[in-house]
Amino acid sequence: MKNAIVLLGMLLIFSCSKDEGTPVTENQPPTAFTVTATVDENSVNLEWTEASDPEDNTVTYSVSLDGNQVAENLSTRTYQLTNLDFDSAYQGSVTAADDEGLTTTSNFQFNIAAQANSAPEIGALTQPENNSIQSGEVTFEWEPAVDAENDAISYDVYVNYNGLLGLGNDFVLLAENLSETNLVFDQSPSQDAMISWYVVAKDAQGLSSTSETFTYRTAEETALFDYVEMPPFEARDNHGLVWFNEKLYLIGGGRSFGGTRFDDVWVSDTGRNWTPLDSGTKFTPRLWHGTVVFNNKIWIIGGNSAYTTGNELNDIWSSEDGDTWVQENASAAFAPRYGHRVVVYDNQMWLIGGRNAANDISRTEVWKSADGINWTLVTDSANFGTGNAFDVVVFQNKIWKIASGNDTVYSSTDGLTWTLETDTAAFGNRRQHSVTVFDDKLWLFSGSTPSNGNPIFDLWYSTDGKEWILSNENLGYGVNDARCVPYTSNILGGGGGIIVVAGNEGASGRGTTNAVKIIVPAKFQN
């Protein structure tokens, strides 16, 4: 009996031991993985394969470089090492860790090659501003260059004087091996010039980079000379003035707004001494007429014989000597008018605009003639506006209409289509001014303000008709309805200039004068 009890107890023990369940499995670390290091100059891109976890736990990664941890708790399998030293060897590791803190590590190593020298990166030019106008001493300024190797930087400055000081059109080395980012340049020009400049940045290894090129203009200095001797002809405005066969011819004119009209002609080879031409046939007295040199003759076209409706003219006269005049046409195809302008372009005469006292003819008409007798209407609706008291010249193989109580500039190559070159010319709103071409520039002289008719005393020039540069703010002499022409002879001992004859010095056409002035850009003075 005793043995049976013992056996039963053993069976019970064995039975209980068998029912305790399956033994618990020990946690395993993430599986092995590999790391790839790709070198890009002084940066390295790390990429590694997935380290899976046997228990499907979440795996995160940390990165160490040369014993220092640089990243942790990464869920992605990429990392970039930046700003590494050139010509250096590196060792590192990526460690994968599961939720229980078990880890698996994979090592990597790489070398950063010696850095190749690179050229410095030039800074931007700052002063003087591109396309600005400067005078006297200027300071070139530019931003510092940046060098990847932190080499010492020096600068060379190059200048193109574009004719200034007789140095031609090539860039010349102005200064070299500068450590500062500025340079004082005393250009000291006595004339108009276009100056271009750029900077070259150099490192210690001899590599360089070049900046963009900036350009600026110097302001034209002018002188105004008044004749000591006043000419003998009567004061007048809205006359004709031409340079013909190396002489000046003053033709007609009078006093606006109901005053005298003249039929006289005066000639001068110096601008100082004037002689009347009174032996031949003359045209009828007039002002506001068109006067031009064409086919080796002086031509007079239209005008006004009195300041009332019905006294406008459309006759045409010519002269080979300024003394004897031939009436070429008593009544041209265009309506009688005054205040128009006539120029020679493309071997033809062109008549622009005009009006009568009643303002009942088109101010936007354009006519042309190949012989001065027969005239063809080009358009009666030119798009240059209806203003009056403008001026017209030929420049750069175009016809130019400049200002008419405003600040617009138009040009045309055919008289039909007109291009608005600018509607905000720097010279501002004006009328009754004078424009001529000299030294490959447009020159605009004086005129009056549209609001009150007061004379303006300044002088402007332009090389393209768009950008206008103030030459003189105050010439000390302002005149409306004057006439001016360029000359190239030795008048007053100079090499050429602009001669201004007569006009009126008062508001709204009052105060006529017979003064003769000459404007000489300083660079043409002896």
pLDDT digits (tens, 9 = 90+) for 459-484: 999 999 999 988 888 887 788 899 99
Residues 408 and 503 in one domain: yes
Residue 320 shares a structural domain with residue 408: yes
- On whether both 403 and 308 belong to a single domain, the answer is yes
* Structural domain boundaries, residue 71: 35-112
The CA distances from residue 377 to 58, 74, 105, 342, 402, in Å, are 92, 85, 95, 14, 21
Cβ contacts of 11 within 8 Å, gap of 6 or more: none
| Residue 351: inside a domain | yes
Same domain for 470 and 500, yes or no, is yes
pLDDT higher than threshold 70 for residue 494:
no
Kindly state the tokens that stand for 480.
């409306």
| Rounded CA separation 169/9 (Å) | 121
pLDDT of residue 466: 95
Lowest average pLDDT, out of 57-66, 103-112, 160-169, 266-275, goes to 160-169
Q: Are residues 433 and 367 in the same domain?
A: yes
Domain of 171, CATH number, reads: 2.60.40.10
Q: Do 380 and 515 belong to one domain?
A: yes
68-74-78 Cα angle (round to 5): 85
* pLDDT cut 70: percent of the chain above it: 86
Does 30 reside within a domain? Answer: no
Query: Looking at residue 216, what is its pLDDT?
Result: 83
Instruction: For 27-52, write each residue's pLDDT tens digit.
Output: 899 999 999 999 998 899 999 999 99
* Contact yes or no for 93/107 (Cβ under 8 A): yes
Residue 491 sits at φ, ψ, to 5 deg, of -65, 130
Instruction: Return phi, psi of residue 178, to 5°.
Output: -80, 140
Instruction: Give pLDDT, residue 23.
Output: 61
Tens-place pLDDT, residues 286-303: 999 999 999 999 999 999
- The residue that leads in pLDDT, 277 or 216, is 277
Q: Categorize the per-residue pLDDT at 505 as very low, low, confident or very high, splitting at 50, 70 and 90.
A: confident
Q: How does pLDDT run across 224-253, given as a tens digit for each residue?
A: 766 656 789 999 999 999 999 989 999 999
Mean pLDDT of 390-398: 97
Residue 492 pLDDT greater than 60, yes or no: no
Closest among 310, 290, 318, 294 to 302, alpha carbons compared = 290
> 233 with 155, same domain?
no
Residue at 169 is within a domain: yes
266 and 402 share a domain? yes
Per-residue confidence band for 15, with pLDDT thresholds at 50, 70 and 90: very low
Q: In what order do the strands lie in the sheet with 366-369?
A: 341-345, 348-352, 366-369, 376-379
> Final residue of a domain: which of 63, 91, 112?
112
- In a domain? residue 269: yes
Q: Which of 32-41, 133-142, 164-173, 194-203 has the lowest mean pLDDT?
A: 164-173
Residues 50 and 182 in one domain: no
Is residue 28 included in any domain, yes or no? no
The residue among 186, 218, 250 that closes a domain is: 218
Same structural domain, 288 and 404? yes
The reply to whether 236 falls in a domain is yes
Region 80-96: mean pLDDT is 94
Reported as a pLDDT band with limits 50, 70 and 90, residue 386 is confident
Which of 198, 218, 238 is at the close of a domain? 218
Domain holding 428: CATH number? 2.120.10.80
Q: Percent of the chain, pLDDT > 90? A: 60
Give residue 506's pLDDT band: very low, low, confident or very high (50, 70, 90).
confident
Confidence grade of residue 215 (pLDDT, cut at 50, 70, 90):
confident
The HSE-up count of residue 363 (CA atoms within 13 Å, CB side) is 16
Q: Are 151 and 145 in contact (CB under 8 A)?
A: no
Mean per-residue pLDDT, 18-33: 74
Residue whose pair of structure tokens reads 């078990």 in the numeric block: 102
pLDDT of residue 97: 95
pLDDT tens-place string over residues 309-348: 789 999 999 999 999 999 999 999 999 999 999 999 999 9
Name which residue leads in pLDDT, 4 or 161. Answer: 161
Element (H, E) at 302: strand 297-304
For residue 11, being part of any structural domain is answered with no
What's the pLDDT at 17?
A: 42
Mean pLDDT for the chain? 86
41 and 190 housed in the same domain: no
Average pLDDT, integer, range 20-25: 59
Helix (H) or strand (E) holding 23: none
Rounded to whole angstroms, the maximal C-alpha distance in the chain is 179
Structural domain count, the chain: 3
Give the pLDDT score at 205.
Answer: 84
Mark whether 143 and 235 lie in a shared domain.
no
Is residue 21 included in any domain, yes or no? no
Average pLDDT over residues 122-139: 86
